[in-house]
Amino acid sequence: MSYATRKLSEEKVFKDPVHRYVHVRDQVIWDLIGTKEFQRLRRIKQLGTTFLTFHGAEHSRFSHSLGVYEIVRRIVDDVFKGRKEWDESNRLLALCSALLHDLGHGPFSHSFEKVFQFDHEYFTQAIILGDTDVNRILLAVGEEFPKKVAEVIAKTSEHKVVVSLISSQIDADRMDYLQRDAYYTGVSYGHFDMERILRLMRPWEDQVVIKQSGMHAVEDYIMSRYQMYWQVYFHPVTRSGEVILNKILQRAKELYEHHYEFKYEPKHFYSLFQGNLTLEDHLNLDEAVVLYYFQVWQAEEDAILRDLCHRFLHRNLFKYIEFDPSNEYNKYVRLLTLFKQANINPKYYLVLDSSSDLPYDFYRPGEEEERLPIHLLMPSGELHELSRESEIVEAISGKRRTDHKLYFPMDIVKEKIMDESTKREIFDLLHLC
Amino acid sequence: MSYATRKLSEEKVFKDPVHRYVHVRDQVIWDLIGTKEFQRLRRIKQLGTTFLTFHGAEHSRFSHSLGVYEIVRRIVDDVFKGRKEWDESNRLLALCSALLHDLGHGPFSHSFEKVFQFDHEYFTQAIILGDTDVNRILLAVGEEFPKKVAEVIAKTSEHKVVVSLISSQIDADRMDYLQRDAYYTGVSYGHFDMERILRLMRPWEDQVVIKQSGMHAVEDYIMSRYQMYWQVYFHPVTRSGEVILNKILQRAKELYEHHYEFKYEPKHFYSLFQGNLTLEDHLNLDEAVVLYYFQVWQAEEDAILRDLCHRFLHRNLFKYIEFDPSNEYNKYVRLLTLFKQANINPKYYLVLDSSSDLPYDFYRPGEEEERLPIHLLMPSGELHELSRESEIVEAISGKRRTDHKLYFPMDIVKEKIMDESTKREIFDLLHLC
Amino acid sequence: MSYATRKLSEEKVFKDPVHRYVHVRDQVIWDLIGTKEFQRLRRIKQLGTTFLTFHGAEHSRFSHSLGVYEIVRRIVDDVFKGRKEWDESNRLLALCSALLHDLGHGPFSHSFEKVFQFDHEYFTQAIILGDTDVNRILLAVGEEFPKKVAEVIAKTSEHKVVVSLISSQIDADRMDYLQRDAYYTGVSYGHFDMERILRLMRPWEDQVVIKQSGMHAVEDYIMSRYQMYWQVYFHPVTRSGEVILNKILQRAKELYEHHYEFKYEPKHFYSLFQGNLTLEDHLNLDEAVVLYYFQVWQAEEDAILRDLCHRFLHRNLFKYIEFDPSNEYNKYVRLLTLFKQANINPKYYLVLDSSSDLPYDFYRPGEEEERLPIHLLMPSGELHELSRESEIVEAISGKRRTDHKLYFPMDIVKEKIMDESTKREIFDLLHLC
Amino acid sequence: MSYATRKLSEEKVFKDPVHRYVHVRDQVIWDLIGTKEFQRLRRIKQLGTTFLTFHGAEHSRFSHSLGVYEIVRRIVDDVFKGRKEWDESNRLLALCSALLHDLGHGPFSHSFEKVFQFDHEYFTQAIILGDTDVNRILLAVGEEFPKKVAEVIAKTSEHKVVVSLISSQIDADRMDYLQRDAYYTGVSYGHFDMERILRLMRPWEDQVVIKQSGMHAVEDYIMSRYQMYWQVYFHPVTRSGEVILNKILQRAKELYEHHYEFKYEPKHFYSLFQGNLTLEDHLNLDEAVVLYYFQVWQAEEDAILRDLCHRFLHRNLFKYIEFDPSNEYNKYVRLLTLFKQANINPKYYLVLDSSSDLPYDFYRPGEEEERLPIHLLMPSGELHELSRESEIVEAISGKRRTDHKLYFPMDIVKEKIMDESTKREIFDLLHLC
């Protein structure tokens, strides 16, 4: 029997709070889970700084990755198997792509990617195609197999049904994270009838569609997603944590560029600061390492770095006010000036942050971020785009919602010694009293 | 209004997956949660190495501490309040003790305490009584207040009802962790009707008792505890992780004592290695720091340290066989010899580990670990010890159960080059093939 | 102590799957639950014929009534108590009104009310104000008390905050039934964060409002309601059961009016058939009695009555097709003719049924069914109508959705002997093959 | 394709709160569910009078029967399929036996069977083998098929593995009812990891065994069973309802035997009263019919019948005291005399009731009720009886527990006019005051 089809002598299971059990029968999957690149995901939180708002949200990308794999496994083994539109030879490709789709994530992904302008997807590709244990296992399946997996994750694969299992507007990735993040945060949102959706998924030419009788379950999923975005993912306190994290990284980089002498040399960060993060350095940069540096940087000379690290570790976050960038830009500019006058560096201590989401959209050709729509398979055999059938989805379809906040350290603003009129004006603009 | 009785202008809540919400109304509690010593508990996992077996078990002592506080809050505010046996002036003492009872835990508590022979309870006392933010807040309540909290946690307090809320055979600590650990691991055990138990708890002279109509809920709690110990806490894979952790620490200490030159100086560990861990060093030693060292130690010269760190981080654990110390001691001695012959250091690679639990016990005066029994308050007004009323509890009462395993690295044993007869004998004794 | 304020010597609890426990401390409430008029609600299903679609939905109005009481109890005792906008003297009025609000429901309420054109609200009033055990208990509270309870339930009370607790667009009634019906049917809809909504409810002049920070929980509640209506309450199979039930009652009444001689005299139905249902007869008419008659009517001479009863008891329901009344009216008229030609009585065997719902609406003065809007209490102290703040609610606000179906007995149509062309035309119009 | 192997063109599902979905693919199963004999189970409550204690327990044997079928379906299709010890030709036999195992239950089964001394198992056989729709469907599978199904349910079948799926100490019947009854009552007991047990079940010669790694899940199941028996099934209030029910039936029978003239002739009961209940009458006797009679009997001349029916319908139950038959028999005899003196008929108003359960037992040859033990399949391939491996199970194994209570109507005893000394003695013996 070839390695690609080798089964474990006995099925292995992982106890999972969301899916009850994650089942592994394939030797390839078992081996991939055991690699150091995959085990590293245990040291990357699934939700970044959300734990600062929802203390339960301490789960890792490791758990999530197993969950996505399990959902895809159920679809291909319990629903698609034997259907003529489904190419059974793509089974292992789907399973591996599901398992590995988040492999390139770094610590606190969004912040790192934003400040250092790199993309976790680049590193996912690099790990799958580079000199890694993951690559060696995939190669043992077939010479072209690593490339095929990489293409599915990059959405450039010709196996479009497989791509749409992993990344579309209703994919295994989203179905896992909505439920998992709801479970760990403890919020009431995030529940929908996944079992029904899975049962009604069908491979259909170049996409996965859902039988029309599952429309209400899909509506519920879209609404869950909407609520999770605004109640959890974009929570203003979580964003305050992210703002501080960004500013720590920005400050450290700035100091490095100005040849500041760190008491504790940030060796792990060198290639990152230099803008040429290597694969090896990337794999070594997990959240434990980052938190270690934040701890030791609390004893640095630089007051800003010290303060920001202290804030992050001990959850002394920035406060915020609502901000309307279209009408209040002058106010922001004025605050910049006032902060400078008060000797509070606005680059680090006055931060505009915006969150924005498009809950669902149909295909709008030519637009920036083209999204493939969700299609319902009607009893007649036709495909109808979801928002054409669902009033609720139509109501929110294509409507981008954005939220702007202005963050600042209340304690510093209040305690800083500055002249009275500056203080009064700052207080006034920030609605303090 | 004094600081002790000051209320927040608006109640604060934490969303909690186990108790739905944790409610905070007291300024003192809010301030304690904000201290850096309490926030540090976010970086200490509640279940040490259990995440290596149950991937969901990534929750921290921070969550658990909030949970214990919430349970005690419900008892004192919803059940005890207004009862003549309850001294309302002990309310804040109970809340603070509940919140802070785990404050001294270090990273991977059991392993550190075992290898370096210190006690987290010592550090809990030290944090409460020493030069810390927590101490300053407690002092603001009253000059004697830190001492009173410390005494409750040390079980030496004269306020015995408060002590038994926090540490007895059915206390808020256990009720929280059984449910919380069950929730995060996803196992089916760990459920019992806490709401009923709370409703039927009564302060009674020097202890908390439970009305007899709650007996079955208490039985269920005892059974949950039993199952959680054997299914989760003593899981052999978790213990394999702990064994490796112990051995890393032991090896590092040994190297330090032999003046080994670490590439990366383990500054955070110095006072620990020297046997005089300071409070400051203790507070700095969180799991992120420990994992940072494990990562960098993977590049050390010392092959054993390198190997063990690699195993821990990438979950390449030791295998195990059942071991009966009363009958198989000769076998163990023989294996020690054989390992040496094969050039595998048995001090680090052949480890006996035992777990042992006493699910419930009544009071046996004079015995080593005296346990206060659970008392039922009968309709007649008498107290009856639980095992006298419950057949199931009687059946397991006082029965210590112990499990012994022998751990070793299967891959090294298999791959190591040694002479054929040694190998055959080792394989035979370890049931390998 | 007066009867109105008398407490039970010990709190009583009912184990409830939805709210965990229902707590009773007031003697009045305990006595009301024990009346025969309230106990009778155990023999009225909460969801009529829904059990024919969702077999779990066998729960009674008794459970639901306890649930509504419990929600109101939590609001007034845990949230409103002590607020200056809340008149504590209305507490018992609120509790009693909540408990008794559904008291007048008859068996399979909708069908009976439709066919015999009476209103369960009339009988709720009659039970509260008439010669009943419930009335005697309420009278013992105060001479005017029965009238005050009746007015709250009739929404004519001057105590508008109490009215809005029991009947508004976000009241205890709806919050209980959405969750309860979801629990018993097992569907994934119907979940929302009730605890948060309760915590953020405030009495405010003449209504109950919700603090703005609870907006998303309210959105979720509105969406739950929407999904429950279309997935559960208006399920086409449930409606098929209702159609048959209606037709049984209509047939029995028609036979009675034509002096048909029933083998088993329908004594329980006489005053109902005569259009002057007495309170006594109403109280005796529970679902057990109705099902008894349906069983014995299976042996009646009249073929239609016999057949319909058989269908209802053994779930041999009508099939349905979609029907668009604006475009297909001619088709319906044609089918009437064809059914007559085929000797199938269309009055009983060809039934148009429409369901219609308005998920949420703000106040539209002058319109038929004026609805009081849900108001959010903004941080500024202003009230904002919900759909002004919530995009999702705005999207569905005021949009009535209607569904039309045409029901018929597939087996009769298929098996009936009729001339070939009639059959062919009927088959064609009903999409049979 | 033969009828036995015919599949539905599309799988049908029932939404089930306990198992999420019940899946039906076989035409035979679908047809059986549609028979009037099976639909009748909707009018038989699963838990008899338990709804008087736990108001949520209003579910029917219909739901339970679907649940047992679903569990067996999962075992045979997902776990046993393809194993060489499993005879795939027994699949339909297992499914039909599971679905139909409770078919013969009458209304409030225990009471009816006790008073009229018949056995629901007799009627299950009669329905399967007699002139019924169920029989006709089973016959269409094969001439011998009804008999084979009947034998499995009667435990006389040669297909012992199939028998042990449906009735053993760990069978699909018990696994469904423990979970279902827990769900509907809302109690915290009744949960165990069924998914794990199912996954580890194996056909093994003439029984179903469980792999040793599932031992703790089985322990948990045994404990759940124990708690459900004592907390739910034997609840003293539920038994009070049963006592009254028994007494109603006993009284009605006695009246019938003494040629009492019922205002409403109990035609449905005639053959029952005469001791020759026919299959037709049995099928007509559902709980709706029984409750109808109870209602009309409230207007009977006979004071005892009237009173008892009123009590049952309006939940005016008997009170109880603990009773120790070995020591207090004289007390009971004395009370009989006193009740007669006081003109309270002790036959109906002074009732001893005992409940008794054996939570688990291994095989004790020659004893009255031989029980087949649960066997664990050890890694070595041997079978070990459960209590040999599990300390907890050993502790309760073979220990019969019995509870005795003495029931009486408190209100009658208190209000009845009798001479003072009799009253005093009765009050004293019944612990009244």
Tokens of B202: 């009564």
Q: Region B319-333: what's the mean pLDDT?
A: 93
Tokens standing for B433?
């093939």
CA dist C419 → A287, C342, C415 (Å): 80, 8, 12
Residue C255 lies inside a defined structural domain of this protein = yes
Q: Does residue A212 belong to any structural domain of this protein?
A: yes
pLDDT value, residue B366: 58
Residue from the list A16, A18, A59 with its beta carbon closest to the beta carbon of B58: A59
Q: How far is CA C267 from CA C273, C296, D143, D270, in A?
A: 10, 13, 47, 22
The confidence score (pLDDT) of residue D364 equals: 60
Whether residue B379 lies inside any domain: the answer is no
CATH code of residue D248: 1.20.1250.30
Query: Computed from CA positions of residues C272, C274, C279, C284, in that sequence, does the dihedral angle turn out positive or negative?
Result: negative
Spell out which chain A residues touch chain C, with contact meaning CB-CB distance below 8 angstroms: 187-189, 191-193, 196, 216-217, 219-220, 223, 226-227, 230-231, 391-392, 395-396, 399, 401
Residue C114 token pair = 């439709």
Could you tell me if residue D82 is inside a domain? yes
> Which residue among D192, D216, D223 places its CB closest to the CB of B230?
D216
Question: Could you give the 3-state DSSP secondary structure of residue A70?
Answer: helix
**Residue C59 is encoded by which pair of tokens?**
């729960």
**Tens digit of pLDDT for each residue in B238-293?**
999 999 999 999 999 999 999 999 998 899 999 999 989 999 999 999 999 999 99
Q: What pLDDT is recorded for position C73?
A: 98
pLDDT of residue D29: 98
Distances (CA, A) of C124 to A290, C135, C153, C275, C285: 66, 11, 8, 18, 14
Q: Which segments of chain A have a pLDDT < 50?
A: none
Three-state SS at D388: helix
Whether residues C257 and C182 fall in one domain: no
Residues of chain D with pLDDT under 50: none
| Domain identity same for C73 and C204 | yes
Q: Where does the pLDDT of residue B364 fall: very low under 50, low under 70, confident under 90, or very high at 90 and above?
A: low
**pLDDT single digits (tens) C205-236:** 999 999 999 999 999 999 999 899 989 999 99
User: Is the predicted pLDDT of residue B316 greater than 70, yes or no?
Assistant: yes
Residues in chain A: 433
Rounded-to-integer distance, Cα D291 and Cα B396, Å: 46
SS (H, E, C) C351-394: EEEEEEECCCCCCCCCCCCCCCCCEEECCCCCEEEHHHHCHHHH
Show which residues on chain A lie within 8 Å of chain B, measured between beta carbons: 14-18, 20, 34-36, 39-40, 42-43, 51, 54-56, 58-60, 62-63, 66, 183-187, 284, 286-289, 291-292, 295, 310, 313-316
Q: Which two tokens stand for residue C242?
A: 């209702």
List the single residue in D191, D193, D396 with the smallest CB-CB distance to B395: D396
Q: Which of B192, B219, B391 sits opposite D401 (nearest CB)?
A: B391
How far apart are alpha carbons B135 and B221 in whole angstroms?
35
Is C211 among the domain residues? yes
In terms of domains, do C350 and C251 share one?
A: yes
Which of C9, C37, C295 is best to mutate for the D interface (most D CBs within 10 A)? C295
pLDDT digit string, tens, across residues C290-335: 999 999 999 999 999 999 999 999 999 999 999 998 899 999 999 9
CA distance B20 to chain C (A): 8
Final residue before a domain boundary, out of C233, C256, C274: C233
Within 8 A of D13 by CB-CB distance, chain A residues are 199
CA A361 to chain centre: 20
Report chain D residues touching chain B, CB-CB < 8 A: 187-189, 191-193, 196, 216-217, 219-220, 223, 226-227, 230-231, 391-392, 395-396, 399, 401
How far apart are the CA of C321 and the nearest CA of chain D, in angstroms?
Answer: 19
Checking if the pLDDT of B363 tops 80, the result is: no
Give pLDDT, residue A365. Answer: 57
Q: Does one domain contain both C345 and C391?
A: no
Tokens 């500024």 correspond to C380
Answer whether residue C345 shows pLDDT above 90: yes
pLDDT for A368:
54
Assess whether B32 and B142 both reside in one domain. Answer: yes
Reduce the DSSP state of residue A241 to 3 states and report it.
helix
d(CA A383, CA A376): 5
Which of A278-282, B361-365, C261-265, C403-407 shows the lowest per-residue confidence on average (mean pLDDT)?
Answer: B361-365
Give the model's pLDDT for residue D357. Answer: 82
Domain boundary among B233, B257, B285: B233
The residue of chain B with its CA nearest to that of C195 is B20
Q: What is the rounded CA–CA span in Å between residue D361 and residue A121?
A: 59
Long-range contacts of C243-246 (CB under 8 A, 24+ apart): C243/C318, C243/C351, C243/C353, C243/C407, C244/C308, C244/C311, C244/C312, C244/C317, C244/C318, C245/C49, C245/C108, C245/C111, C245/C312, C246/C111, C246/C114, C246/C115, C246/C351
What residues of chain D lie within 8 A of the CB of A200, using their CB?
Answer: none
Do D214 and D301 have their domain in common?
Answer: no
Residues C264 and C213 in one domain: no
Mean of pLDDT values over C149-171:
95
Task: Look up residue A45 and give its DSSP letter.
Answer: B
Q: Are B228 and B182 in contact (CB under 8 A)?
A: yes
Which of B392, B399, B401 is nearest residue D396 as measured by Cβ atoms? B392
Cβ within 8 Å, pair C392-A226 = yes
Q: Could you say which of C233, C261, C291 is where a domain stops? A: C233
Neighbours of chain B (3+ CB pairs under 8 A): A, C, D
A247 assigned to some structural domain? no
pLDDT at A146: 98
Q: And the tokens for B150? A: 């410390």
Q: Is B350 helix (H, G, I), strand (E, B) or coil?
A: coil
Polymer length of chain C: 433
Provide the 3-class DSSP secondary structure of residue D190. coil
- ipTM of the prediction: 0.95
The residue in chain A having the minimum alpha-carbon distance to the alpha carbon of residue B45 is A58
Q: Let me know if residue D94 belongs to a domain.
A: yes
**Same structural domain, D270 and D340:** yes
β-pairing verdict for B201-204 and B207-211: antiparallel
pLDDT at C268 over 70: yes
pLDDT tens-digit profile of A359-392? Answer: 787 766 555 555 788 999 999 999 999 999 998 8
Question: What's the total number of domains in chain C?
Answer: 3
Taking residues C181-209, report their average pLDDT: 94
Verify that B300 and B226 share a domain, yes or no.
no
Whether residue B86 has pLDDT greater than 80: yes
Report phi then psi at B354, rounded to 5: -125, 140
Closest CA to C97 of C154, C45, C14: C154
- If you count residue pairs, one on B and one on C, with CB atoms under 8 Å apart, how many are there? 7
Q: According to the model, what pLDDT value does residue B398 have? A: 83
d(CA B196, CA C20): 10
Residue B365 has pLDDT above 60, yes or no: no
How far is residue B136 from each of residues B37, B140, C49, measured CA to CA in Å?
A: 12, 6, 65
| DSSP calls for C182-240 | HHHHT-S-S---HHHHHHHEEEETTEEEEEGGGHHHHHHHHHHHHHHIIIIIT-HHHHH
Say whether both B208 and B288 belong to one domain.
no
Residue C285, domain extent: 237-355+404-429
Distance CA D165, CA D91 (A): 11
- DSSP per position, D325-342: TTT-HHHHHHHHHHHHHT
Tell me the residue type at A254. Answer: E
pLDDT above 70 as % of chain B: 98
* Contact between C422 and C341 (Cβ < 8 Å): yes
The pLDDT assigned to B400 comes to 84
Suggest the residue from C58, C268, C311 to mutate for an interface test with chain D (most D CBs closer than 10 A).
C58
Give the residue from chain D lying closest to B192, CA to CA.
Answer: D188
Stated pTM of the model: 0.93
- Six-digit token pair at C195? 């605890």
Question: What pLDDT is stored for residue A356 in this prediction?
Answer: 85
How many Å apart are CA D198 and CA D210, to the nearest integer? 8
CATH number for the domain harbouring residue A211: 1.10.3210.10
Q: Which residues of A touch D (CB under 8 A)?
A: 13, 20-21, 195, 199
Same-domain status, D29 and D50: yes
Nearest C-alpha neighbor of C406 from the set C332, C338, C326: C332
Residues D268 and D213 in one domain: no
Report the alpha-carbon distance of residue C266 to residue D222 in Å, rounded: 50
Is residue A64 a part of any domain in this protein? Answer: yes
Question: What are the C-alpha distances in Å from A314 to residues A291, B34, B35?
Answer: 12, 7, 7
Q: Find which of C196, C198, C211, C213 to mutate to test the B interface (most B CBs within 10 Å of its CB).
A: C196
User: C356 and C389 in contact (C-beta within 8 Å)?
Assistant: no
